[in-house]
Amino acid sequence: MTTHDHWQQILGSDPSGNSWVQERPGLSLEMIAACGLGKDAGILDMGGGASTLVDFLLADGFSNITVADISETSLELAQKRLGELAKPVQWIVADACNWQPPHKFDLWHDRAVFHFLTEDSDRKAYKQRLYDFVPIGGFLIMATFAIGGPTKCSGLDIVQYDAQSLANEIGVGFVLLDSQLETHTTPGGASQNFQYIRMQRV
């Protein structure tokens, strides 16, 4: 089964029971607010799928939003949920490691994609896009499973990070601004530890 087919199977139905679901992505929204972006800033939610982050960004007045995900079905679910509100958003079916972004982004947000990249070649390909499409002064907000968090997700191996190891992995082209740990409660009631970082392109 290809990576695309795996995620189509995982994400291709009602997403409400998936472990990573958040009713309100509070920490992501706090970190986005801390960036002080204008409402016309280019924002990418990489791996956004059926996440509700886009709902809150639209409600806050942001007008230049791109949601990219490997699963077209998950994007369709988000569009159906939003209805007419989905029209201004750019929806892109994309593998984070081998896509060609349509333009640069003032903010690149990734909650729970990067930790699935267990091969150095995949991380390198992802980071190449990050460096090419976040301009100097732009921001990165990334969340991965934290040290002591899950070792697998959706049947796949993951890589755990703390703030410094994640910042080191991203590299010297970005400076670490702040970091936070979050204990996420899944729809099933389990606890998962996530590491969030906010970085700026320099």
Q: What is the DSSP letter of 186?
A: P
Note the pLDDT of residue 112: 86
Tell me if 17 is assigned to some domain.
no
Q: How confident is the model at residue 6 (pLDDT cuts 50, 70, 90)?
A: very low
- Model confidence over 90-99: pLDDT tens digits? 999 999 999 9
Question: DSSP of 36-102, one letter per residue?
Answer: T--TT--EEEET-TT-SHHHHHHHTT---EEEEES-HHHHHHHHHHHGGGGTTSEEEE--TTT---S
Tell me if 19 is assigned to some domain.
no
Indicate which CATH number applies to the domain containing 97. Answer: 3.40.50.150
Please give the residue range of the domain that contains residue 32.
Answer: 3-12+25-201
Tell me if 18 is assigned to some domain.
no
Tell me if 72 is assigned to some domain.
yes
Number of domains in the chain: 1
- Model confidence over 148-198: pLDDT tens digits? 877 888 778 999 999 999 999 999 999 999 999 998 676 666 778 999 999
CA distance 15 to 79: 13
Number of H helices, E strands in the chain: 6, 9
Tell me if 74 is assigned to some domain.
yes
